[in-house]
Structure 1
Amino acid sequence: MPEYLLAIESSCDETAAAVITRDLTVLSNVVASQAELHERFGGVVPEIASRAHVERILPVIDEALTTAGITPADLKAIAVVTEPGLVGSLLVGLTAAKTLAMVLDIPLVPVNHVEAHLYACRLGAGRDIFPAVGLVVSGGHTNLYDCQSAVDYRMIGATIDDAAGEAFDKAAAILGLPYPGGPNVERTARTGNETAYRLPRTFLKEDRLEFSFSGLKTALLYEVQGQPGAHRTPPAMTPQRLADLCASFQAAVVDVLIAKLELALTRTRHRAICLGGGVAANGYFRDRVEAMARRRKVELFISPREFCTDNAGMGAVGWELLDRGRTAELDVDVKPGLIR
């Protein structure tokens, strides 16, 4: 008889549920986006996100089960993201998961959202990919990991300020591009010259596994609006200037990401990379990482695009955790916040 896992994700602004079989076949992966609710604010508003999760969590779970062609009684376990994220958002998903686990009398498996992004690479590969250097690049996280197994991750580096995805969103706001910023910056950059503006690459040549993008964001702001106290009027924002700024900004972010990935490979001596998170969907970044992996002769596993942004399919890691007995009692709580 097939065994089914229901995975639930509500850590930020996506309400998601998925049904995954024991052999890691994703039968359904339903995501209700809140992008339209937060667009006019230029970022996620926690209270709005929480209320939207309350409205959407049950319909999303029902659609995931219906699409998979199963009923709640068929479930073997419930996996749910409990960390990190927005406290109100996390609580909505966890409450739904606890209720189902109690009523159905099945195990409850807590999942770390950031680590699940790395497991999405394993899901896409269809085979074991560890040990590897892991990099999660998203709106809230830019973290490097020493991944010894599918459930054994040790963080070895992180951003000290803005995450890369957050920097893309702020850059888009500076440039007058719509939210979410990452896809719009990438799209605009396609016709730009990435060498047109020499923007800073913090820690690029330093022997440290840390990232910083706040200075880059500030440099872009000064390029667009002029430096405070300066008497020079910035050039008009023509379509080509906009494209050049986007391309130069994108290249600066990716240069640093690639450099730190290479440093992590050297330190860990791993021969594989796994790359996940929303920024991993960026085509320019993917091309640059692929070129680096070929040059260094290491294996590269990038999360499939459908698993890059927040979703519940990557909750398939719940099977790995379940097999190792890493379940939780019904009094388990969320662990909000960002992992820096």
Structure 2
Amino acid sequence: MTPLTESTLTILGLETSCDETAASVVRRAADGRVEVLSSIVGTQFEQHAPFGGVVPEIAARAHVEAIDAVAAEAMRAANIGFDALDGVAATAGPGLVGGVMVGLAFGKAVALARDLPLVAVNHLEGHAVSARLGASIDYPFLLLLVSGGHCQLLEVAGVGACTRLGTTIDDAAGEAFDKIAKSLGLPYPGGPALEKLAASGDPTKFDLPRALLGRKDCDFSFSGLKTAAARLAEKITDDPQRADLAAAVQFAIARQLSERTDRAMKLYAAAHPRQDLRFVVAGGVAANSAVRAALQRNCADNGFSFDAPPLAYCTDNAAMIALAGAERLALGISDDLDAVARPRWPLDEAAALSNPSNSFGRKGAKA
């Protein structure tokens, strides 16, 4: 495909990797300026709430039922017709593969019917560019991608050019938030509920374990924290104690994210002398105020600028998928209609193959 760097591109984005059915229309100007014409997110909270977490089969069926209406609403809100589109971008992984298949199949249908180029987008790349929905952020930058299914530090040199510095060896930070919240009897989704409860707690009342203290790399581990907090939650008898444990958990997660990010910043700065140092945090956990505050202190200490997506684009959304697709189309990159849905799809595939974060036989985090 011929590069379209001198063109304004209007892209329909589709996101169905977990429990949000999302569609968005994004316009990217030739100079890189971005305008979100619409962003519609259909949630499935009510369907999954009785189970305290996302049930893949329920999620996939809900996506099938919602995708037509959500995409139609995105086009209506953008006030354009399909003939105004320059391409379609759909999440092709990683994620719950049943849901991924729904959005990708819908994107293929639109691309085929309207003779438009298709971009099969890595969901993680969508998060990587999500901060660019709210500000002009030049490549390269250091990225902390932290959500319910992912937790990793990456050097982002450009479109599709990511080098992994560290990753979780077991659970993601967002998963720890959600599972511990469930142990405390908080409603789904647990992360925001735990943050609200933690506001009235004292984080010093509970001593929680710290992971991987003997290692000097940038990897994460949250399974020990999750287990310890769940056991403590079983013994709690009153609301003040619940608030204290929530505050201790939030502090412990923010501390680990901050410590590993500090290491990555020092490595990144040493490898990129005489460059502007940019740091971006993205993903659902980027909306947590305690985590943001800790990372902002890291940036001040290490001479990095701090950027995060607008709160509306921290959690899963289709605007980030549309932008990732637009950036690829601008470079002449598109995909055939036989693009497959992938449950696992690391941004740095070389690192994932040469230094897998999980031993043989274990699937680990979605990345």
TM bucket (normalised to shorter chain) is: over 0.9
Gaps of 5+ in 2: 1-6, 345-364
* In 2: Cα distance, 1:240 partner to 1:40 partner: 25
Per the alignment, residue 77 of structure 2 pairs with 67
Runs of 4+ in 1 over 3 A off after TM superposition: 337-340
CA contact (8 A) 1:118 1:303 kept: no
Contact 2:203 2:244 in 1 (8 A): yes
For the residues of structure 1 that align with 2:125 and 2:108, how far apart are their CA atoms? 21
- Tell me the TM-score normalised to structure 1 length: 0.94
**Is 1:154 the equivalent of 2:163?**
yes
| Cα shift at 1:304 | 1.1
* CA 2–122 in structure 1, closer or farther in 2 if over 3 Å, else same: closer
Q: 2:126 aligns with which of 104, 111, 116?
A: 116
The equivalent of 1:172 in structure 2 is 181
**Partners of 1:292 and 1:137 in 2: CA distance:** 16
Distance 2:332 2:132 in 1: 20
Residue 239 to residue 131, structure 1, CA distance change in 2 (3 Å): same
Secondary structure of the structure 1 residue equivalent to 2:105: helix
For residue 22 of structure 1, report the CA deviation from its aligned partner. 2.0
1:142 aligned onto 2:151: yes
Q: Which residue of 1 aligns with 2:352?
A: none
Q: Return the alpha-carbon distance in structure 2 between the equivalents of residues 129 and 257 of structure 1.
A: 24
Q: Deviation per CA, 1:147-169, whole angstroms, max 9, x where unpaired? A: 11243212221111111111111
1:331 matched to which residue of 2?
338
**Equivalent residue for 1:286, pick from 283, 292, 295:** 292
Aligned to 1:184: 193
Asked if 1:242 is matched to 2:242, the reply is yes
Counterpart position of 1:16: 22
- Report if the CA contact (8 A) 2:26-2:319 is conserved: yes
Opposite residue 201 of structure 2, the aligned amino acid is G
Give the deviation of 1:128 after TM superposition.
3.0
Deviation at 1:222, TM superposition (A): 2.4
**1:87 Cα deviation from its structure 2 partner:** 1.0
Q: Distance in 2 between matches of 1:52 and 1:310?
A: 16
Aligned residues: 330
What's the CA shift for 1:238? 1.6
Give the TM-score normalised by the residue count of structure 2.
0.87
Distance 1:110 1:140 in 2: 19
Which residue in 1 is equivalent to 2:224?
A: 215
> Is the 1:65–1:71 Cα contact (8 Å) retained in structure 2?
yes
Alignment gaps of 5+ in structure 1: 226-233
SS in 1 for 2:333: coil
Deviation per residue, 1:145-194 (Å, 9 max, x gap): 11112432122211111111111111011111111110011000001111
How far does residue 204 in structure 1 lie from its aligned partner after superposition? Answer: 4.4
Corresponding residue of 1:314: 320
Kept after mapping to 2: 8 A contact 1:177/1:184: yes
Q: CA deviation at 1:303?
A: 1.4
Identity of aligned residues (%): 43
